[in-house]
Amino acid sequence: MEIIAHRGYSGRYPELTRVAFEKALELPVHGIECDVRLTRDGKLVVVHDAEIGRVSDGRGKVAQLTLAQLREFNFGTESSPQSVLTLDELLELFADHPEHHLYIETKHPVPHGRIVEEQVLMRLRYAGLYDDPRIHVISFSQPAIVRLRALAPHLDRIRLRRRVERRLNPVDLHLGRPTGLGLSLERARANPGLIGRHGLPTYLWTVNEPEDLRWARDHGVDLVATDEPGTALEVLGR
Ligand code: G3P
Ligand code: CA
C-alpha cells in the first residue's frame, strides 16, 4: 500500500503550503496530494476551500480574488508566514523530487467549470510533466473525469466517491472510465466490499490513526492519503 501525504505534511504544517510540501517530500513516501482552484484572473492556486478564511488571515472566495490579492494574506502561522502556493510553484518543487508522485485534485462546482482541468493540463505541459506517469488527476466530479478522459486519456484519473452517493449512486456507476476509485475511510469501514470494486485500484482518504492504517493495508487498499505521513511510515514501513 502506497502512502500519500494529504495536503502535504498537513498534520504538522499549515496545509497546502510550501513548507507542508517540502517536509512531505523529504520523506520516503509514494506521493503528495493537493487541491487546486482558479483565481479570478485565471491562475491555479493550491487551496482546498472555496473561501480562504479557514486557512489564512484573509477573507473572500478564491474565485473572486486575483492572485495578487491572495498574495497579501498569510496562509501559514505568525511565526512562519506562508504565501498562497500556485500550482506552477508546486510543480517546480515537485520536479526536484523524481521519486515522488503528485495527485492533483480539481475542485467542483466552481464558476470556471471545465477551465480548471484545461488549465491543469496546460500547466503540466509548461512544466514538462504532461506525459509523466507520476502525475495523477483526481476529482469528486464525474464531468471532470469525463473531460480528463477526452483531453488527456493517457493520464491516470481517479474518481472520488461523494458522501451522498451512498444513496444517490447505489449501483456505483462512474463516467469517463476512471483508472482508479476513491473512497473515504468512513465509507470503506461501513462497506469494505467497495475496496477493489470494478477491478480498479482504491485510493482511501483520510487515514491518520495507526489502527486505521493497518486496517486499510489488510483490506487491500492500494493508496492511502494521510495527514500524518511520518506516522504512516512508522506503522507501515516504506
Ligand atoms: O484525497 C482526497 C481527499 O482530499 C478528498 O477530500 O475534502 O480532503 O479534498 P478533501
Ligand atoms: Ca483533496
Q: Which of 58, 52, 12 is nearest to 228 (CA)?
A: 12
Contacts of 24 (CB under 8 A, 6+ apart): 5, 8, 9, 32, 229
Residues having CB closer than 6 A to ligand 1 are 6, 33, 35, 48, 105, 160, 182, 205, 225
Pairing of strands 180-184, 2-6: unpaired
Statement: the pTM of the whole predicted model exceeds 0.95: yes
Residue 30 bears catalytic tag = no
Domain containing 55 equals 2-235
Cell triple for residue 78?
A: 505568525
Rounded CA-CA distance 31/8 in Å is 9
Rounded CA-CA distance 66/192 in Å is 43
Beta bridge partners of 51: 61
Catalytic residue among 6, 100, 101, 136: 6
Q: At residue 228, does pLDDT exceed 80? A: yes
Task: Give the confidence band of 43 by pLDDT, cuts at 50, 70, 90.
Answer: very high
Structural domains in the chain (count): 1
Beta bridge partners of 86: 45
Query: If you average pLDDT over residues 31-36, what whole number do you get?
Result: 98
Task: Give the confidence band of 238 by pLDDT, cuts at 50, 70, 90.
Answer: confident
The enclosing domain of 131 has a CATH number of: 3.20.20.190
pLDDT at 136: 98
Contacts of 44 (CB under 8 A, 6+ apart): 36, 37, 38, 86, 87, 88, 116, 119, 120, 123
Whose C-alpha lies nearest to ligand 1, atom 5?
Answer: 205
Q: At residue 100, does pLDDT exceed 80? A: yes
Rounded CA-CA distance 206/15 in Å is 14
